[in-house]
Structure 1
């Protein structure tokens, strides 16, 4: 095979991966742009093979993975939007590695959370969103192990007794749908990291696994995971929503705008207890 064909095939493979990343990120405009580039590259490949010309039309430049140039907070935001629920740093990093380009480490998230609060307090509302902790439903103090997005309603950012399970199921649905989208968007399918991540969720959901699955190599149906997760969600959602709604109502009455994002200070715990009495 000639060097020009090698270059075209490398470019085609890079474009397909970039389309998968854009589709998983929900960036329809970017995906359309990349598909146009892919069609041009494929036509150039066909023309070279059919005519035997020694020099094909210049292949399009390999696209720069825009996600790799994003700041860490944007990486976290994309992962949380895919999950649709508060999440721990380890899960956020796992989702990023499975579905998005670029690097993100759990160590970055620790300093990032502090930076987000400092940024808000120095200039409230200057950013379109902030990364903030989830709030405990009883004391409205920050649950620092869980990260949320400020644009989510309070009811979504509060954590009650049933919320960890509800959020687990919600995240499982988000991951399964992203895997399904990746499988449909290109011939390459979802990444191995995405399949492993979905597997770890599926094994903890009744009826989500295929009956003949015995290892990570078994065939896993994302739609089956979605159906199983939604079935269990129906059991817990109403009770969890009632707790979260009551806590959000109390937060709006007793906390300032900044505290509704970053949690009540420890000295405010006594007040909150008396307010609930």
Structure 2
């Protein structure tokens, strides 16, 4: 399974390289925005490391139950963060809950996510930067308003958090690859293999990707080949990635010019739509 710490470390490395490139190009505005994202990512890394270190010895003599118990005691925002870090793309509440159920211990429901999103914005506005990360909506590429049906993480780059015309499909394919990789890891490392929930989730992705299903599929999730899903998803992703990346990059540049720091996380207010249209004219 993809480790959230590994994903954050990869993101930190990517941000550092981007800062170096921006500084070499003399783009001080871009470098400053990337440094802010780097600080958020580093705080998120510290928080995850601290969360993984038990403060006291477990009171129960059953150590095998400790990881699940610790996972079940995490707040809902930590559950959401772990699921999103595994997926690596903006996701709807139902998918986040399904990913969490498939790969992580503890309970999470979509009802918790609706109030959680409001709490995150209130927390940021009352004390910006106090938390290592915030859960925030994706941003529509044209108006930079919040796409409230999709949740992202503040430590991701603007390019990751913007949704362009092709982004729903590219994010679906990218998510399919991450889920298939997590299933592969579970098959190799877990004694009983991937969970039934993980296999069902991978099946739901595979049936919507050309050539991802085995020709002799029997209608059972166990017939899936995770590597075949990865190959099929990557083949289609290669077709769309360049255009999607260009659309997202253009929207991100506009966001950096037009939006305040908090609006870059939570979106432009509707009253700012006319201003953004004028800025593009």
Whether these two folds match at TM > 0.5 is yes
Q: Paired residue for 1:158, among 147, 159, 162?
A: 162
> In structure 1, what is the equivalent of residue 256 of structure 2?
252
Whether the 8 Å contact between 2:212 and 2:228 is mirrored in structure 1 is yes
- The runs of at least 4 consecutive aligned structure 1 residues that moved more than 4 Å come to 23-29
Q: Paired residue for 2:104, among 92, 100, 104?
A: 100
List alignment gaps of at least 5 residues for structure 1: 1-22, 34-58
SS for the counterpart of 1:134 is: strand
Q: Distance in 2 between matches of 1:201 and 1:276?
A: 37
- Offset at 1:118? 0.4
Are 1:113 and 2:117 counterparts?
yes
Whether the 8 Å contact between 2:203 and 2:221 is mirrored in structure 1 is no
Q: Paired residue for 2:183, among 172, 179, 187?
A: 179
Are 1:198 and 2:209 counterparts?
no
- Offset at 1:219? 1.1
SS for the counterpart of 1:147 is: strand
> In structure 2, what is the equivalent of residue 86 of structure 1?
90
Are 1:133 and 2:145 counterparts?
no
- Offset at 1:67? 1.0
Q: Paired residue for 1:233, among 223, 231, 237?
A: 237
Whether the 8 Å contact between 2:4 and 2:86 is mirrored in structure 1 is no
Q: Distance in 2 between matches of 1:126 and 1:133?
A: 19
Whether the 8 Å contact between 2:4 and 2:85 is mirrored in structure 1 is no
> In structure 2, what is the equivalent of residue 63 of structure 1?
65
Count how many residue pairs are aligned between Structure 1 and Structure 2. 229
Q: TM-score, normalised by structure 1?
A: 0.79
Q: TM-score, normalised by structure 2?
A: 0.78
List alignment gaps of at least 5 residues for structure 2: 7-48, 54-60
Whether the 8 Å contact between 2:180 and 2:202 is mirrored in structure 1 is yes
Structure with larger Rg: 1
